[in-house]
Amino acid sequence: MERVGIIGVGQTKYEREKRETFGEMVYEVVKKALDDAGITIEDIDNVVTVSNDFWDGRTISCMAVADASGAYGKDTSTVEGDGAFGALYGLMRVLSGAYNNTLVVAHCKGSESYSSAITNAAFDPIYERILGIDAITSSALQAKRYMTKYLLNEEQFAKVSVKNHKNAKNNPFAQLPLDITVDDVLNSRMLSDPIKLLDASPISDGAAAIILSAERQAKEVSQNPVWIKGVGYCSDAYRIGDRDLAEPNSLRRAAKDAYKMASIENPLKEIDVAEVYDAFSYQELLWMEGLNFCRSGEGGKLIDEGVTEMGGELPVNPSGGVISAHPVLVAGLTRIIEAVLQIRGDAEKRQVPNAEIALAHGINGMCGQSHCVWLLGK
């Protein structure tokens, strides 16, 4: 693959309810990304926005942020899904040779939406939606299946929540920096068995942006571009009843493709830090298995043995992860931004020493139907 670099990044602070409008959030992160790259909006030749009409509360929602994103008078298109997939589309535009500098920007205000109704509408309207199933209840089914098949326990899930909320204390952008214990998680309010309040990600507002550049342009404008080493993506069956929810097969395929592109043979040994989409605590363990950091059913061992702690063999979610801030659509792009900061050595208190290869991960669909894996490096 021709080399493409990430030359600029920007993100808001993630909050339960931001006073800024969609446009104001988008403008903020676009300006941050441009300043970070040392270029102006005139240097951007196309814009990819990431939005969703349901979450925005208006049709053709992408058009509402065209001006704020700098898309006026430029080629612009939209991805309706997670920001990691929006970035993938932006990457493909650069690789096509038609564009040099692509701006990708995602936004969401969960505070102005009704998550249960929106995620319920994602299910089959004839056979599933009538049951009232949504993101939380479907994920509870997945967590229960995972526990039953591989004999994991709720304490292991709780350890993920404790770790990531603690990590969030070192991230000025995180929404929920917390000092909590395993007992705090286990005793928090039940949402849908076995998922409790502190096992779940919060309602969040925020935006994020990155700038992707072809190699020649990246070298011209940036002293420290972060290079895309590999990308993989794959989707599984739509209906959750058609999948074994304890087996993240589409993630395995996406990771395999990304590793092959990046010439990685032993992920646990060769990757220095990972930012994984942990919308619920159990998912970090399950996704670790899908990413081939351990064998099936052994995700719990990683958290039990401290492998994924900040001082462990493979720090996972040093930013605090999605469980500490979950602006829908934005969170996957945030994972990429956090990976970029790690490679550049700009992650401040959450920096993993000597990070040279970082993994970022995004998902689309219920229970991880579709996955996108990014590998970034110097």
Radius of gyration of the chain, Cα coordinates, nearest whole angstrom: 19
CA dihedral 170, 176, 178, 182 (to 10 degrees): -120
Over residues 211-239, mean pLDDT: 95
* Tens digit of each residue's pLDDT (9 = 90 or more) over 156-202: 999 999 999 999 999 999 999 999 999 999 999 999 999 999 999 99
Burial category of 295 from C-beta neighbours within 10 Å (exposed 0-12, middle 13-18, buried 19 and up): exposed
Instruction: Report the pLDDT value the prediction gives residue 179, as an integer from 0 to 100.
Output: 98
* Tens digit of each residue's pLDDT (9 = 90 or more) over 236-268: 999 999 999 999 999 999 999 999 999 999 999
Contact 47, 105 (CB under 8 A): yes
Contact 277, 316 (CB under 8 A): no
In a domain, 367, yes or no: no
**Tokens read off for 83:** 């920001």
- Stated pTM of the model: 0.97
Stated length of the chain: 378
| Position 1 pLDDT exceeds 80 | no
Number of domains observed in the structure of the chain: 1
In a domain, 234, yes or no: no
Over residues 110-121, mean pLDDT: 94
| Position 62 pLDDT exceeds 90 | no
Over residues 53-62, mean pLDDT: 86
CATH number assigned to the domain comprising residue 37: 3.40.47.10
**Tokens read off for 215:** 């190699």
| Position 50 pLDDT exceeds 80 | yes
Instruction: Report the pLDDT value the prediction gives residue 193, as an integer from 0 to 100.
Output: 98
Instruction: Report the pLDDT value the prediction gives residue 241, as an integer from 0 to 100.
Output: 94
* Tens digit of each residue's pLDDT (9 = 90 or more) over 6-48: 999 999 999 999 999 999 999 999 999 999 999 999 999 999 9
* Rounded distance between C-alpha atoms, residue 126 and residue 131, angstroms: 10
* Rounded distance between C-alpha atoms, residue 19 and residue 179, angstroms: 27
Residue written as tokens 């249960």? Answer: 116
| Position 132 pLDDT exceeds 90 | yes
Beta bridge partners of 77: 48
In a domain, 150, yes or no: no
In a domain, 334, yes or no: no
| Position 223 pLDDT exceeds 90 | no
In a domain, 322, yes or no: no
Q: Mean pLDDT across the chain, nearest whole number?
A: 97
Q: Where are the beta strands (DSSP E) in 164-314?
A: 190-192, 195-196, 205-214, 226-235, 273-275
In a domain, 66, yes or no: yes
Instruction: Report the pLDDT value the prediction gives residue 63, as an integer from 0 to 100.
Output: 84
Bridging pattern class, strands 357-364 and 370-377:
antiparallel
Which residue range is the domain that position 36 belongs to? Answer: 4-114+203-221
| Largest Cα span, the chain | 56
* Tens digit of each residue's pLDDT (9 = 90 or more) over 76-103: 999 999 999 999 999 999 999 999 999 9
Instruction: Report the pLDDT value the prediction gives residue 375, as an integer from 0 to 100.
Output: 99
Helices 281-290 and 249-262 sit at what angle, rounded to 10 degrees? 50
* Rounded distance between C-alpha atoms, residue 153 and residue 301, angstroms: 11
In a domain, 21, yes or no: yes
| Nearest of 350, 362, 361 to residue 315 by alpha carbon | 350
Instruction: Report the pLDDT value the prediction gives residue 2, as an integer from 0 to 100.
Output: 83
In a domain, 105, yes or no: yes
